[in-house]
Amino acid sequence: MLKPRPPPYDVAEWEKQPFETRLKMVCGAWALHGYGAPISVYLAYVLKIAGYVGVWWFLNARVATTAEWWKTPDALLRAVLWSMLYEGLGFGCGSGPLTGRYFPPFGGLLYYLRPGTLKSPLLGGPRRTILDVIVYLAFCGAAANALWSPTITATHIASVLAPLALLGVLDRTIFLATRAEHYAIALLCFALATEPVAALKLVWVAVWWWAATSKLNQHFPSVVCVMMSNSPWVPSFFRKKMYVAFPDDLRPSRLATILAHAGTVVEYVFPIVLLVGDGGPLTLFGLATMLAFHTFITSNVPMGVPIEWNVVMVYGAFLLFGAHAPVSVSAVGSIPLLVILALSLVLVPVLGNRFPQFVSFLMSMRYYAGNWAYSVWLFRGDASKKLDTHLTKSAPRVYDQLTRFYDHETIVAMLSKVVAFRAMHLHGRLLTMLVPQAVDDIDAYEWLDGEIVAGVVIGWNFGDGHLHDHRLLEAVQSACRFEPGELRCIFVESQPFFVPKLSWRIWDAATREIARGETTIDALQARQPWGLSNATADHHDGAEVRS
C-alpha cells in the first residue's frame, strides 16, 4: 500500500554502474512499470477528486431552486469558478506525489502567501512582495465570495478577473496555475455573451481541436508509450508491445504510433459530432466517444495529474452538448466577446504553436502533445543544498521530503525514474547529446529535472519549461551564488510548427550561456533514450552547435 514498486535490479549495484548503463536500466524499468507508485497514491488522488466534486456539489445544492440544478448554466459557472480557485490554491494540477510533492503535498498558497519566495514576473523583481500577497488574496476572496453568493453576476466575475489579470503581470506562475487559458475565457463568456452556452461550446471545441492539432507531430507516439507504461491498469505484456523491441529498443512501436494517431483523429471528430448533433442519437454517440476519450486519459494517470480539469471538460460537454444541444454557436450575440474569443482561441494558439518560445504551452493549448519546453539542472556534488539554505520556500528538496517515508535505495530508485521519464520522450533523447557538452563528468553531478526544481523553488510545476528556464536560474543564482561549474542547466525549447528542429541552450549559473544550437527531429528519431555522445560529433546527424 505504501512502498513503491522496486525496479527489476538491485539499486545498490545499479548506483555503481556508468551513467549510460544506469540510464538504459532505468528506462527499461519505466517501460515495464512506469513510476511504480504505490496503490495508496492512486487512492489518495481518488479521494482528492471526490472532495473536489463534493465541494462543488455543496456550493450548488445550497442555492439550488430545482432538482435538476446540475443541468443549468449556473452549475457550470460554479464548476468553472470553483476549479479556478481550486487550481489557484495549488490543489489541482501539479499537486501530490506524481508531480514530486510528498511533504507538503502541494505548493500553491504555501508560496503565494509568503513574501520573499521566488516568482515568475512579467514586470518587476523575482521575489514576492506584500503587494503580490494582497493581490493574490483579493483574487481568492473574490472567487470565494462569488461562489457563496446565491447568484453569480457579471460584477462578481469582474471582481475575480481583475486581480487575476494583475497577477498575470506580477507572477505568471499563479496566472497559469489557475488554468486561465480555459477558465478565465469561460468566465468572460458567462459575463458578456447573450447566450453563454453558445460561447462556451466554442471554448470547449477550441480546447479539443487545439489539443488534437498539437499532436500532429513526431513526439506524440512517445507520449503514448510513456503514459501507458505508467498506467496502473495496463498489463506488462501490453506495455512491452508499445516499444519496438523491449528492452533494447525503446522507441515507439507501430502499435503505439497507430494508437497515437487514432487518438488524434478521435479528438478531431467527436467535437464535430457534438456541434452538429441535436440531442438525438448522434449527440449520444459524440458524448459516449468524448467520455471514453477522457476516461482513457484519466485512467492512465498522466504525469502532472490534471484530473480535475478532465472532470470539468467531461461535465461541461454533457451540459453544453447534451442538456443544451439545441443551442447554436451562432447565438453568442456579443461582438466584443467574439473578438476576445478570436484572439484567445485562435490567434494566441497559432502564435504559440509557431513561436513557442514566446507563449506558454498552456496558452497555446498544447496539452499532452509531448512537445514541451523543458530543462535539466545539473548540480555538482551536493550543491543543490544551497536551494534550502539560501532561498525562502515552503518545501525542502524532494530527496529530503522522501526521507520521511523511505530509505536511501528506495529514494534513489524513485528519483531515477524522473530521469527516465524525460529521456524516453522524443525531445528527451537530445539530452544524451548535450550532457557531455554541459559537464565533463556526469557522475559527479546530481541530475534534477527542471520540473522538480520549479516545484520546490516557486511552488508549482505543470510541464511549462518557461517557468524554470534561464530567468529562474538567474533569480536562483542571485541568492545562491553558485561557483562556475557548480550548476549547469540544459534548456530545450518546444518544436515550432513547420520547423523540424529543436533549439537548445546550455547555461552555467555563474557565467551564463556557454553554448546553444539546434538539432533536427530526424536525428532524434534514430536515437535511443540512452547512449552519451558529443553534440559536435553528431553534427552530421543534424546537430548544429554554436558555442
Structure confidence by residue, pLDDT tens digits, 35-82 = 988 888 889 999 999 999 999 999 999 999 888 999 999 999 999 999
What is the secondary structure of 331-394 as a DSSP string?
A: G---HHHHHHHHIIIIIHHHHHHHSGGGS-TTTTT-TT-S---EEEEEEETTGGGHHHHHS--S
- Distance of alpha carbon 397 from alpha carbon 395, whole angstroms: 7
H helix and E strand count, the chain: 24, 8
Q: Is residue 500 part of a domain?
A: yes
Containing H/E element for 512?
Answer: strand 512-520
Quick one: pLDDT band at residue 302, thresholds 50, 70, 90? Answer: confident
Mean pLDDT of 284-295: 96
Q: Which residues of 239-254 are buried (b: 16+ CB within 10 A; e: fewer)?
A: bebbbeebeeebbbbe
Q: Is residue 296 part of a domain?
A: no
Q: Is residue 288 part of a domain?
A: no
Cβ-based neighbours of 398, under 8 Å, separated by 6 or more? 100, 102, 415, 452, 455, 456
Parallel, antiparallel, or unpaired for β 487-492 and 512-520? Answer: unpaired
Answer for the pair 225, 252: CB distance below 8 angstroms, yes or no. Answer: yes
Could you report the per-residue pLDDT of 430-445, keeping only the tens digit for each?
999 999 999 999 999 9
Cβ-based neighbours of 243, under 8 Å, separated by 6 or more? 31, 225, 249, 250, 251, 252, 253, 256
What is the number of domains present in the chain? 1
Q: Is residue 379 part of a domain?
A: yes
Neighbours of 498 (CB within 10 A): 7
Domain limits at 402?
374-546
Q: Is residue 323 part of a domain?
A: no
Q: Is residue 126 part of a domain?
A: no
Quick one: pLDDT band at residue 537, thresholds 50, 70, 90? Answer: very low
CA angle 505, 511, 513 (to 5 degrees): 15
C-alpha closest to that of 368 among 177, 223, 467: 223
C-alpha closest to that of 41 among 83, 2, 6: 2
The pTM of the full predicted model, rounded to 2 decimals, is 0.93
Q: Is residue 473 part of a domain?
A: yes
Largest pairwise CA distance in the chain: 71
Mean pLDDT of 329-356: 96
Q: Is residue 443 part of a domain?
A: yes
Quick one: pLDDT band at residue 540, thresholds 50, 70, 90? Answer: very low
